[in-house]
Amino acid sequence: MPEILLPVTDPATVEALNALAKRHRSAAGPAMQVLGYLGGSAETLLGKLPSPVRGGLEDATARALEIAFGAAERSRGLVEDRPDWVNRTLASAMGAAGGFAGLPGALAELPFTVTLLMRAIQGIAAEHGFDPASDEVRLECLRVFASAGPLSKDDGTDMAFMATRVTVTGASLQGLIARVAPKLAAVLGQKLAAQAAPVLGAIAGAGINFAFTSYYQEIARVHFGLKRLARDTDRDEGLLREELIARIAR
For residue range 37-89, what is the model confidence (pLDDT) as tens digits? 655 555 566 667 788 887 888 898 899 898 888 888 888 878 888 899 999 99
| pLDDT bracket for residue 4 (50, 70, 90) | very low
Query: Minimum mean pLDDT among 22-31, 131-140, 170-179, 226-235: which range?
Result: 170-179
Q: For residue 34, which of 188, 202, 194 has the smallest C-alpha distance?
A: 194
CA distance linking residue 223 with residue 132, whole number of Å: 14
8 A C-beta contact, residue 58 and residue 104: no
What is the number of other CB atoms lying within 10 angstroms of the CB of residue 245? 17
What gap in Å lies between CA 150 and CA 155, rounded to an integer?
Answer: 12
3-state secondary structure the chain: CCCCCCCCCCHHHHHHHHHHHHHHHHCCHHHHHHHHHHCCCHHHHHHCCCHHHHHHHHHHHHHHHHHHHHHHHHHCCCCCCCCHHHHHHHHHHHHHHHHHCHHHHHHHHHHHHHHHHHHHHHHHHHHCCCCCCCHHHHHHHHHHCCCCCCCCCCCCCHHHHHCCCCCCCHHHHHHHHHHHHHHHHHHHHHHHHHCCCCCHHHHHHHHHHHHHHHHHHHHHHHHHHHHHHHHHHCCCHHHHHHHHHHHHHC
Instruction: Please report how the helices 51-75 and 102-127 are oriented relative to each other, as an axis angle in degrees rounded to 10.
Output: 40
Tell me if 132 sits within 8 A of 144, measured CB to CB: no
d(CA 14, CA 8): 7
Whether the per-residue pLDDT at 155 is higher than 60: the answer is no
For range 8-37, the mean pLDDT: 79
pLDDT-based confidence at residue 165 (cuts at 50, 70, 90): low
